[in-house]
Amino acid sequence: MDYQKLIEEIHAEVEQMNLHGQVATYIPELAKMDLHKFGISLITTQGEEFKVGHTNDKFSIQSISKVFTLAMVFPKEKDNLWKRVGVEPSGNAFNSLAQLEYENGVPRNPLINAGALVVTDLLRSKEPDALGAILGFINRLAGTNQIIPNKDIAQSELNHSSRNKALAHFMKSFGNITSPVNELIETYCYQCAIEMTASELAQAFLLFANHGINSLTEQQLLTLSQTKRINAIMQTCGFYDEAGEFAFKVGLPGKSGVGGGIAAVLPNQFSVVVWSPGLNAKGNSLKGMKALELLTTKLGHSVF
């Protein structure tokens, strides 16, 4: 397969569609992003990289960070993790309070905000410097030491974090959060504000295409079962209330972020990251969704 030719063709087709979308204005720093930026990076499990467009621009990975913290906590907690967070799709907004009310403070899955807060809370209980541990983990996967949070974006999120604080306080009332809420929210906002290029993110996401092995160090970080389960959660829950649409049109495990990034994997084959800041009504990259739909359509296969 000539992946370079394929992604160049997809990039050109999507650009001709004149898709724009809207930036995430509820985080003021994200509202400043250029809607015209669009890049695709694909890295095979053999280490070959193919890219087109804006693949070296830094962007905040936002909710894609939830997959990395899940990958850090799952091997430590093992199946005890699922006593504090579920594995079912939410079908509701990513920051829904109503769902927690019905489910006694146990989030539906680890990729909605409430579930990610529980995962970060667990990480904080095990790591004196949780943010440092997250950055170390991601940098090792990406093969660099240059990945850090954007402090302006983190502060912007902190200034507009009332809903996340409400989620954390509500779960704390059920005993499902142990950290001081303000400290937890600060860690979480800095986690979401981590900036990466599409190429760096694709390299880091190879972990989930490569049986839980860091392809750069050959270290087994996740068991085969843990990798399978994380991929399953991404498949069913990685796009909030558009997860079914993504599975239907694309058919890859993946995770989106309101910074405009989408990271996905075809197990045993490749990881792929598409970045374009313009979002659709569900908060997912408009160009990114279309590009990944074209990718699996033109390849003729997905995980199904």
Q: What is the pLDDT of residue 180?
A: 98
Q: What is the pLDDT of residue 29?
A: 87
Hunting for tokens 């989408």 — which residue is that? 262
Its pTM stands at: 0.96
In order of 42, 116, 184, 207, the CA distances from 47 in angstroms are 10, 30, 36, 12
- Strand-pairing partners, residue 40, are 52, 274
Contact 230, 110 (CB under 8 A): no
Hunting for tokens 């890859």 — which residue is that? 252
Architecture, CATH, for domain 3-299: 3-Layer(aba) Sandwich (3.40)
Classify burial at 113, counting beta carbons within 10 Å of its beta carbon; exposed 0-12, middle 13-18, buried 19 or more: buried
Termini Cα distance of the chain: 19
Q: Could you list the mean pLDDT of each consecutive 10-residue stretch along the chain, which spans 304 residues?
A: 97 95 87 92 97 98 98 97 94 75 92 97 97 98 98 95 96 97 98 98 98 97 98 95 92 97 98 97 95 97 90
Q: What is the pLDDT of residue 93?
A: 67
Which bin fits 80, alpha (ψ -120 to 50), beta or left (φ > 0)? Answer: alpha
Question: What are the tokens at 284?
Answer: 């997912």
Q: Residue 71's closest CA among 111, 30, 16?
A: 111
Rg (CA), the chain: 18
Give me the amino acid identity at 151.
K
Q: Tell me the longest C-alpha to C-alpha distance in the chain.
A: 54
Neighbouring C-alpha atoms within 13 Å toward the C-beta of 171: 30
Give the start-to-end residue ranges of the domains of the chain: 3-299
Hunting for tokens 């990076």 — which residue is that? 41
Instruction: Say which residues have a Cβ less than 8 Å from residue 25's Cβ, sequence separation at least 6.
Output: 31
Contact 63, 255 (CB under 8 A): yes
Q: What is the pLDDT of residue 20?
A: 87
In order of 20, 99, 241, the CA distances from 296 in angstroms are 22, 33, 21
Q: Residue 303's closest CA among 259, 276, 265?
A: 265
